[in-house]
Chain A
C-alpha cells in the first residue's frame, strides 16, 4: 500500500540521517517540540536556519577574501554559524565548524580555506537531505489526510 511505502521511506531517510552522522540528539529535541498545533516546527526552524545562515557563509567568504588574516573575526563569525547549526542538530556540520575554528586559533590560513570548503559542502548536502526528508514527510501527511477523508466518505455513505 502506497501510504505504508511512503511511511517506510520517511522512516528510512530519518534513520539514515542519524546513522550517517548528519543529525544528532538536538534534532530529536526539536521534534519533541511539535504537537498538533505546531506540526511543522522542525521544518520551520530548519527553513529559518538556512535563510539566516547564508549571511555567515557570505561574511566568511568576504573576510577570507578581504582580510584573510583577521582570524579573530573569522572565528567570531564561525562561532555564530556553529551555534545556529548546533541548534538544529547538524552534527557533521558542527564538526567542520570546530575544525575551522581550530585553524583560526593557530592562524593557519590554508587550513581555514580548506575547511571552509568542507563547511560549505556539508551545509549544502544537509540542506538537500532535509528538504527531501520533509517532502516525503509532507507526502505521508497528505496521503494520511486523503486516506482518512476517503475512509470517512465510505463510512458515511
Chain B
C-alpha cells in the first residue's frame, strides 16, 4: 500500500502553482492531496468568484501582487453553484492578463456536448471525476514542458536581441519533437500575443 515516493525537493521537479476550484469540500481535500504528491503548490478555493478574486480579476485589487502568486494551472469543477466552471473558463480566457494560464475542467458527468463546449472555449483538458493521481501527474508534466518551452523561447528571444541582427544556425533553438511547436526563428517575427489555437484533446475514459 505504501510506495516509495520521491521527495519533491530532491527530485528536482519545479514546483507548479495550481489553483483548484471546487465547491465540494471532499473533492478539494482530495485534489489538494493529489497535487501535493505531484510536487505542486496548491491554492484551493470554493467558487468561481473566489477564484477570480484570487487572480485579481474581480475589480478589487488582490491583497498581494499578482506576479508573486503566479498561477501555472487552474483546475476547476464544472458544476458549481453561482458561477459554473465553464463561466469561469470564459472569464479567464477573455482576460488578456490571464488567458495564457492553462485551464482544466473536471466533471463527474461525461457529456460530450459539455466537453466540446469547454475545449472550444480554450480548456486544455476535460477530466472525468474522480480525478486520479495519474491524471494529475500527466497534467503536471505537460504544463512543465510548456513552461520549459516558454523559458527557452524567452531566453532565445533575449539572445536574439542581444546578438547582432545576423542569424546563425547555432543560434536556432532546436525544440524536442512536438507537433504544436511554433518556435519563431526569424528575428523579425516575434511570438504574437494571440493565444495558440487549442487542439481538442480527450482523455481515455478508463
Contact = CB atoms under 8 A, between A and B. Distances in A.
Contact of B30 (A30, A80, A82): A30
A84 B133 contact: no
Interface residues of A, number: 24
B2 A45 contact: no
A134 B129 CA distance: 25
Interface string B103-147: 000001000000000000000000001101100000000000000
Say whether chain B's binding surface is mostly helix, strand, loop, or mixed: loop
A44 interface: yes
Contacts of A41: 33
Interface string B33-50: 110010000000000000
Contacts, number: 57
Find the residue from B23, B27, B130, B132 having the highest chain A CB count within 10 A: B130
Contacts of A87: 24, 26-27, 30, 129-130
Nearest to A89: B130
B1 interface: yes
Contacts of B29: 44-45, 48
B108 A29 contact: no
Nearest to B34: A33
Interface in A12-48: 26, 29-36, 38, 41, 44-45, 48
Nearest to B109: A79
A41 B130 CA distance: 16
B1 A34 contact: yes
B2 A34 contact: yes
B132 A83 contact: no
A79 B27 CA distance: 14
Say whether chain A's binding surface is mostly helix, strand, loop, or mixed: helix
Contacts of A80: 23-24, 79
Interface string A69-105: 0000000000110111011100000000000000000
Nearest to B22: A83
A84 B27 contact: yes
B108 A83 contact: yes
B158 interface: no
A26 B33 CA distance: 14
B52 to A, nearest CB: 22
Interface of A: 26, 29-36, 38, 41, 44-45, 48-49, 52, 79-80, 82-84, 86-88
7 contacts: A31-B1, A33-B30, A34-B1, A35-B2, A83-B108, A87-B30, A87-B129
Identify the 6 closest CB pairs spanning chains A and B, nearest first: A84-B26, A52-B25, A83-B108, A87-B26, A49-B26, A26-B130
